Structure 1
């Protein structure tokens, strides 16, 4: 004799009581008969499927499967035998199965359900009396996670996320992979200390303590070790977050390597500049643009002026009384304050022992680190000036009696005395005819007596003409008058002279 068929839940008085118990739950509940028919669903379960009554959900498991298509979060379709309703009927015990639910005929899922099973047996029988599918709508949570995932991956700022319970990386974005050169799969299988994101951190102990406590890690400099060798300087910070239901730490990074490279290049450049500055044969100094304080002097400056570095550094040039006069100092400082660089500016300075030094001064605006500075160069031309003065005096001495010089030598001596030929000021047209005659004879080397005889005038008359010529052309010596005339192409020809 065959055993009686299993008793369905419809034939029991408990169904009404179950409905009363679970009707107001926030979780969706579907009751399934062992014969695979759907007995009842609460309002939450209907709402989670977008239907108004049990008939729209499906009378049987097969109808449900036809009306609603399920896939896992990895986009793989759920096979028919693995539908949660099928697994409940088969007596499987499962929890926290997450599936995406799509209404048949629609292209995209509408909901994300997290489901678990519950099998109720009679106390005196092994066969199940009631099969229950319990559903939670986790669509909002997974939508938020999807948005976070998209934002995290699209963010160019390098970032990684580790779980706090085992410190293993669970997410890494492209920015971090580009920054370090690590392959993605080699990051996600390692821990915070395998790929040490706190390596050489300024406050590593504090960061490790905060990580262990799941608290915010403040920004600090650290060095990321690169897979090919070497390190990369970064600013790292940690922010605790929840990913799913797991506490995690989000590490973000700012790349400081370009700054470190630039600082290294600047440091090497400054070192080369310092060596060149100290070894330069020209006296040089570096001063602050603001206040004209000297910051550094080289050995040539010390040799020229007698001031050791300790005696002059940190002092304004005005206090040192380096310049011959306050007027010279004010003129030079005003030009620098106005943003001008000096080029071959002649000035006199005082050495420590009081000696006067003729210099050509040049300046250049430079930056040392973040400071605006001025590079000074002083070329000592004292000897050259003295030599020029001696040469001029020698020329003047010989030109007092130039009767034995040829005209070409006279021209050369005049040009040497006044090497800038042509120029502004009074011209020959400002002189009278008689004054031009007197000037012509001066250019030919005549003294006052010979000029008087040549022009048949008194010696006093010649002296008066000479005085007026000097006043008009702005000179006070014979050699200067000759140079003035030569510069204008006037050599004294055309004036008749008596026979010797």
Structure 2
């Protein structure tokens, strides 16, 4: 029996639908076909997987059945009304390119609820007369993209660095973070939606033309200084940079800013500190040198250095420690350098220095590591103690002269002299000459004869360090602090260095 026209049309429709299903079955996007009467007639594997079901019946047999099984929410957490569901909008004759919603199971069917963010697109397939033959619902999974967007949103908002995002297609700002609002005093409504021409962050940039060219071409804008307008009409110096990014598939430019005020305040404080250091360095009455940490090359000397040692600045600046003419001998210089290398500083090392006029000065030398313009340097301070030592030696000589011709002094007088050199002591000495080693006795005897450290070095043929060590041990054992005290201590025990210790005489009556 030949087919009627309606039957032929229905058959042709089935053939067309099977061909369509074969074409779209393997697509990555979810596809649902809906008949004009509202029944859901077919769905591909992707559509079923997006709804976490395995067969068409689990999606629902109609639009109303679908709504009972699945809940859709906009991104603002607003639940879609029945008429707002994509399938209902299709059946109402509406075509749409994008509806983004979060899909979940309804409370009555909430088993294994795996919520996803989906983008729906809907259109009709017309027949030969232009009437809807089928409705097609295309579904795309945006869950991962949305998660990435949410992470970006959280990071962007939490970033303390001021930032603003401009969409390149129309040069309008689409996002601003709290850091930018706090820095400028504007509100979000003051910025978002405005054109880059209305609020130009590159208006006062130092390389504005190059920055604008990079903005138009979507290229990275390197860091540059600029002046940013604030909400109160004032301005702020900033460093601005731009980085191309994509936001919701829109090409954008992320502008980041660094407030220059704290940096300038720090630079001003550093400059003032360095100016104070320079003034102090120049005006201090103690000879002072500034040298590099590496190689100890002289960078500068102060006026007192020139005054005491006689060298002009140009005669020493640029020279290394070994090239300076101030050292009495290389042994002393190497000892000083080793002391500095051991700890990066030292205090009151006693050694002789030579002036430009070939005079030897007894000096105490101290050094400390300092930072100048971010570079490690060495500050060396020289204290001339020649006069002090000469006074001590003259005092020692006077004591020796008196003691040499006044052996008849009573022990009481000697002890009073010792008390004057060591005030505050009420106990009698408990250390005797027998507690000194032969070498220490020899050194003490030369001290009593008025010999300086250098003279003792020459007399005994030992190094200055050896002599210093012996003297330090003598001071410690005798509980004295200087040469005069050591001589008095020896004299009160009848030791002059010219002869062996003599027994104490009883005081005359």
Per the normalisation by structure 1, the TM-score is 0.70
Matches within 5 A, 1:82-481: 82-104=84-106, 105-106=109-110, 109-110=115-116, 112-118=118-124, 120=126, 129-130=131-132, 132-139=134-141, 141-154=142-155, 156-157=158-159, 158=161, 160-173=164-177, 183-191=187-195, 205-218=209-222, 231=236, 236-238=241-243, 240-251=244-255, 262-339=266-343, 341-397=345-401, 401-402=405-406, 426-427=433-434, 474-475=445-446, 477=449
Alpha carbons of structure 1 residues 481 and 357: separation in structure 2 relative to 1, 3 Å: closer
Q: Is the 8 A contact 2:236 2:259 kept in 1?
A: no
**Alignment match, 1:76:** 78
Q: Which runs of 5+ in 1 are unaligned?
A: 1-7, 432-469
**Alignment match, 1:37:** 38
Distance in 1, matches of 2:72 and 2:294, equals 75
Alpha carbons of structure 1 residues 40 and 397: separation in structure 2 relative to 1, 3 Å: closer
Q: Is the 8 A contact 2:102 2:115 kept in 1?
A: yes
Alpha carbons of structure 1 residues 95 and 487: separation in structure 2 relative to 1, 3 Å: same
Match of 1:22 among 20, 23, 37: 20
Q: Is the 8 A contact 1:237 1:253 kept in 2?
A: no
Per the normalisation by structure 2, the TM-score is 0.69
Report the alpha carbon displacement of residue 378 of structure 1 after superposing the two structures with TM: 1.8
Determine helix, strand or coil for the equivalent of 2:97. Answer: coil
Distance in 2, matches of 1:423 and 1:202, equals 81
Matches within 5 A, 1:48-67: 57-67=59-69
RMSD across aligned C-alpha pairs, in angstroms? 4.7
Larger radius of gyration: 1
Determine helix, strand or coil for the equivalent of 1:300. Answer: helix
Q: Which runs of 5+ in 2 are unaligned?
A: 1-5, 451-483, 496-501
Determine helix, strand or coil for the equivalent of 1:329. Answer: helix
Moved more, 207-216 or 38-47: 38-47
